[in-house]
Amino acid sequence: MRGRITKGTGGFYYVNDENGRSYECKACGRFRNENIKPVCGDLVDFTARQGEYGFIENILPRMNVLSRPAVANIDILLIVVSAQKPHIDFMLVDKLLLQAQREGIRPVLCVNKTEAGLKAAREIERQYAAYDVLLVSAHEKTGLAALKELLFGKFVCFTGQSAVGKSSLINVIGAEKELEVGGMSKKTARGRHTTRTTELLYLPEYKAYVFDTPGFSMFDTKGVAREGLAGYYKEFAPYAGLCRFAGCAHNKEPDCAVKRAVEEGKIDEKRYQRYLKLLESFEGKENG
Ligand SMILES: Nc1nc2c(ncn2[C@@H]2O[C@H](COP(=O)(O)OP(=O)(O)OP(=O)(O)O)[C@@H](O)[C@H]2O)c(=O)[nH]1
Ligand SMILES: [Zn+2]
């Protein structure tokens, strides 16, 4: 059978089949010998056994994988921020966008708590106009249709600072239905004080998986060459090829089309300033 790993604990893995039914499995010995560790989100071939745990036989090639917590095959990284408190950390969002794009994951920004703080929400929309931005309120249940549409059939990872409302959003979109977990019926609405576990939740109504984490292991610049950084700024793309120098870092080089676009207000000044700051943090570092 084909399935997706939703949870791993104490040598056991929980694998959902295509109908969202959960099976307790062990990894077959070959994986340990080859030093392969299944992770949450992995798509696997497994055999189920009557009244006993099954076996994961094969892990399909991963589309992407993020670490600490280790999660694979994410379709969408939903970067949740707040229009009220806690105030948005723009640099963190820039880094999460970079991290997603580097892994080939589609990033979507989700501004929660928009029943107030509309000015902040508009500013976020403006700075990230090159990306998809949703405005929602978990409390007022507004903007959820677009979020639900996004979810359908996908594995969506909710990430962002603590207290922006990730759990609240998952609860309001998933709480109508009861969730099947290991044959037991359990409400999707988790208590706010339950300990955080690395677990994918299945939302049968949307045939979707969601995962909730404040972030992944500290962003590092490994794997992003200094010259490659600009490539992760979608709004630079129309101009980047027009600079005088090939490989222009859009910093102090003369005749830079990106800088010109900033001066003309076509690229957001604040995003550009943060880009320079990130670029600076690369100076003198070994990347690659
Ligand atoms: N005003 C307002 N508050 C909200 C909204 N959504 C969530 N909150 C509140 O924000 C606080 C944090 O919500 P959580 O859902 O626990 O946030 P989280 O992002 O999951 O936080 P962590 O689990 O710590 O990562 C709670 O007090 C919620 O009631 C909203 O749409 N508007
Ligand atoms: Zn340039």
All CATH 2.40.50.140 domain ranges in the chain, comma separated? 2-59
Which residues, including other chains, have CB under 8 Å from residue 280's CB and lie 6 or more apart? Answer: none
Q: Between 144-151 and 166-174, two packed helices, what is the crossing angle to 10 degrees?
A: 80
Task: Verify cis geometry, omega within 30 degrees of 0, for the bond prior to 86.
Answer: yes
Ligand 2 centroid to residue 123 C-alpha, Å: 25
Strand, helix or coil at 154? coil
Ligand 1 centroid to residue 82 C-alpha, Å: 9
Cα separation of 88 and 121, whole Å?
A: 10
Q: How do beta strands 2-9 and 12-16 pair?
A: antiparallel
Which residues, including other chains, have CB under 8 Å from residue 113's CB and lie 6 or more apart? Answer: 82, 83, 84, 137, 138, 139, 164, 165
With a Cβ cut-off of 6 Å, ligand 1 is lined by 84, 112-113, 115, 137-139, 162-168, 192, 214
Which of 159, 168, 213 gets mutated to test ligand 1 (max ligand atoms within 8 A of its CB)?
168
Ligand 1 centroid to residue 95 C-alpha, Å: 22
Ligand 1 centroid to residue 71 C-alpha, Å: 23
For ligand 1, atom 28, which residue shows the shortest CA distance? 165
Question: Which residues, given as ranges, of the chain have pLDDT below 70?
Answer: 175-197, 218-225, 283-288
pLDDT, position 232: 95
All CATH 1.10.40.50 domain ranges in the chain, comma separated? 226-282
All CATH 3.40.50.300 domain ranges in the chain, comma separated? 65-213
The ipTM value here is 0.98
Question: What is the dotted CATH code of the domain comprising 2-59?
Answer: 2.40.50.140
Contacts of 184-193 with CB under 8 Å at 24 or more apart are 192/167
Ligand 2 centroid to residue 275 C-alpha, Å: 12
pLDDT, position 35: 86
For ligand 1, atom 21, which residue shows the shortest CA distance? 163
pLDDT, position 273: 98
pLDDT, position 179: 33
Q: Which residues pair with 133 in a beta bridge?
A: 109
- Relative to the CA of 160, which ligand 1 atom is closest? 19
| Structural fold of domain 226-282 | Ribonucleotide Reductase Protein R1; domain 1 (1.10.40)
- Relative to the CA of 213, which ligand 1 atom is closest? 25
Cα separation of 232 and 236, whole Å?
A: 8
pLDDT tens digit string along 138-168?
999 999 999 999 999 999 999 999 999 999 9
Cα separation of 79 and 161, whole Å?
A: 9
pLDDT, position 223: 61
Q: Following DSSP, what letter does each residue of 230-246 receive, concatenated?
A: GGG-GGGHHHHTTSSST
Question: What is the dotted CATH code of the domain comprising 65-213?
Answer: 3.40.50.300
Counting ligands in written order, the one closest to the CA of 249 is 2
